[in-house]
Amino acid sequence: MFKIPQIKAKLVVVEIFSFYCPYCQKDAPKVNALYELIENNPELKNKIKLIGLGAGNSPFESRDV
Protein backbone atom coordinates (compact mmCIF):
# COMPACT_ATOMS: atom_id res chain seq x y z
CA MET A 1 0.00 0.00 0.00
CA PHE A 2 1.12 3.54 -0.66
CA LYS A 3 -0.10 7.12 -0.82
CA ILE A 4 0.00 9.09 -4.05
CA PRO A 5 2.33 11.77 -2.58
CA GLN A 6 4.91 9.00 -2.07
CA ILE A 7 5.23 8.57 -5.85
CA LYS A 8 8.32 10.38 -7.05
CA ALA A 9 7.00 12.05 -10.19
CA LYS A 10 6.04 15.54 -11.28
CA LEU A 11 2.70 14.29 -12.63
CA VAL A 12 0.60 11.33 -11.49
CA VAL A 13 -2.38 10.39 -13.66
CA VAL A 14 -5.04 8.21 -12.03
CA GLU A 15 -7.40 6.41 -14.41
CA ILE A 16 -10.43 4.55 -13.07
CA PHE A 17 -11.55 1.59 -15.16
CA SER A 18 -14.21 -1.06 -14.88
CA PHE A 19 -13.92 -4.44 -16.56
CA TYR A 20 -17.54 -4.25 -17.74
CA CYS A 21 -17.49 -0.64 -18.96
CA PRO A 22 -17.50 -0.44 -22.78
CA TYR A 23 -15.98 3.05 -22.67
CA CYS A 24 -13.15 1.81 -20.48
CA GLN A 25 -12.51 -1.13 -22.80
CA LYS A 26 -12.40 1.21 -25.80
CA ASP A 27 -10.02 3.60 -24.01
CA ALA A 28 -7.66 0.95 -22.57
CA PRO A 29 -5.48 0.47 -25.70
CA LYS A 30 -4.90 4.24 -25.87
CA VAL A 31 -3.90 4.36 -22.20
CA ASN A 32 -1.55 1.40 -22.75
CA ALA A 33 0.01 3.19 -25.74
CA LEU A 34 0.46 6.35 -23.66
CA TYR A 35 2.13 4.30 -20.92
CA GLU A 36 4.55 2.77 -23.45
CA LEU A 37 5.38 6.21 -24.88
CA ILE A 38 6.14 7.56 -21.40
CA GLU A 39 8.18 4.53 -20.31
CA ASN A 40 10.24 4.52 -23.52
CA ASN A 41 11.09 8.23 -23.31
CA PRO A 42 13.97 8.82 -20.87
CA GLU A 43 12.90 12.46 -20.40
CA LEU A 44 9.39 11.46 -19.29
CA LYS A 45 9.86 8.06 -17.64
CA ASN A 46 10.50 9.32 -14.13
CA LYS A 47 8.44 12.50 -14.42
CA ILE A 48 5.02 11.04 -15.34
CA LYS A 49 3.41 8.01 -13.72
CA LEU A 50 0.09 6.36 -14.59
CA ILE A 51 -2.05 4.48 -12.08
CA GLY A 52 -5.03 2.39 -13.16
CA LEU A 53 -7.74 1.46 -10.67
CA GLY A 54 -10.21 -1.35 -11.32
CA ALA A 55 -13.45 -0.06 -9.80
CA GLY A 56 -15.77 -2.81 -8.62
CA ASN A 57 -13.67 -5.56 -10.17
CA SER A 58 -12.39 -8.82 -8.73
CA PRO A 59 -8.61 -9.36 -8.45
CA PHE A 60 -8.82 -11.60 -11.54
CA GLU A 61 -10.53 -8.87 -13.58
CA SER A 62 -8.05 -6.23 -12.41
CA ARG A 63 -4.90 -8.24 -13.06
CA ASP A 64 -2.07 -6.83 -15.13
CA VAL A 65 -2.53 -8.09 -18.67
Backbone conformation region of residue 56, classed left if phi is above 0, alpha if psi is from -120 to 50, else beta: left
Cα–Cα dist 48/7, whole Å: 10
CA dihedral 8, 45, 34, 1 (to 10 degrees): -30
Determine what percent of the chain is predicted with pLDDT higher than 90.
Answer: 60
pTM reported for the whole predicted model:
0.76
Mean pLDDT to the nearest integer, 40-56: 92
